[in-house]
Amino acid sequence: EIVLTQSPATLSLSPGERATLSCRASQGVSSNLAWYQQKPGQAPRLLIYDASNRATGIPARFSGSGSGTDFTLTISSLEPEDLAVYYCQQRSTWPRMYTFGQGTKLEIK
């Protein structure tokens, strides 16, 4: 079973700052990694798929990188509405199953 470990657990930054969120897999997952954003009281939203591709409608300030076991979600210039918990997720090809990381809470000062 692949385990995803996200760090830090909580990140507190000011508007305009750069946020860097990490996700480490216990074994290689190639580029089969996605990032989701969950704002308070809302369902999650797909941000990044295949490690580095933005989903439809996602602002360009969100970017993803990495492959294998180490992945990063970067928010280049924080906006107040970026307050959320961010989850990484890996998918296995067969059986077709998913695993989420424990999440990183992003606080906006």
Partner 1 sequence: EVQLVESGGGLVQPGGSLRLSCVVSGFTFSSFWMSWVRQAPGKGLEWVANIRQDGSEKYYVDSVKGRFTISRDNAKDSLYLHMNGLRAEDTALYYCARDVIVLPPGLDYWGQGTLVTVSS
- Whichever of 6 and 75 has its CB closer to partner 1, that residue is 6
Return d(Cα 82, Cα 87) in angstroms, integer.
13
Indicate the burial class of 91 (C-beta count within 10 angstroms; 0-12, 13-18, 19 or more): middle
Residues binding partner 1 (CB under 8 A): 1, 32, 34, 36, 38, 43-46, 49-50, 53, 55-56, 85, 87, 89, 91, 95-103
What's the closest the beta carbon of residue 54 comes to partner 1, in angstroms?
A: 9
- Whichever of 3 and 15 has its CB closer to partner 1, that residue is 3
Look-up: residue for tokens 């295949």?
Answer: 50
